[in-house]
Amino acid sequence: MPRRRELKGICLNFSELLNSRNNDYLGYWAIGQLCLLAQKEGVNSISFSLVDLSNSIHTAEAELMCKQMKSYLYTILSAHKIPENWVKSVLVKFSFNQEYQSKYHYWGSAIGSHYLLQLTIETDLGHIDTMVQGGNVKPHDPSKEQGRNDF
């Protein structure tokens, strides 16, 4: 029988999935692509609301990434037998060009700039779980990256 308290663990696992190299979009690391998109749009952060499929920059590429993230989330909820209506909102914010924090970032300029990912899940009863992940990222460059070939 599912419990709402499982959403805390789902929040952690989902944030780790979004932060990992396994989070790809069209065969390349999604965070690198988001970093490039943020540079093109001239912003330091991109926010996604997964339940209502909206994002802060309103581009077609960001909308497709939002749909993919929502699909990942609902797969996890389904695996735990958590009803979708228990989740009132899911907000994901990717912030780029962040200050160095040893908990989240690797030291070294050659690795790329620092970013943070903040995930917030609010239940239908008003309980809020928040997780923060981080790392280093360079903007997406297909000439320097090897994409996945399983498409």
113-123 β-sheet, strand order: 54-55, 45-49, 87-96, 113-123, 128-137
Looking at the domain assignment, is residue 73 inside a domain?
A: yes
97, part of any domain = yes
Q: Is residue 146 part of a domain?
A: no
Residue 19: name the closest of 76, 104, 84, 103 by CA: 104
At position 138, the amino acid (one-letter code) is: K
Report the number of distinct structural domains present in the chain: 1
Mean pLDDT over 47-67 rounds to: 95
Given a cut of 90, whether residue 2 has pLDDT beyond it is no
Check pLDDT > 70 for residue 124: yes
Q: 121 in a domain, yes or no?
A: yes
CB atoms within 10 A of CB 26: 14
Confidence tier at 108 by pLDDT (50, 70, 90): low
**Whole-prediction pTM:** 0.89
Give the chain's mean pLDDT: 89
- Does residue 1 lie in a domain region? no
pLDDT at residue 47, rounded to an integer: 98
Domain that holds residue 77: 6-137
Residue 143 lies in a domain: no
Residue 63 domain-assigned (yes or no): yes
Residue 149 lies in a domain: no
Given this model, what pLDDT does residue 109 score? Answer: 55
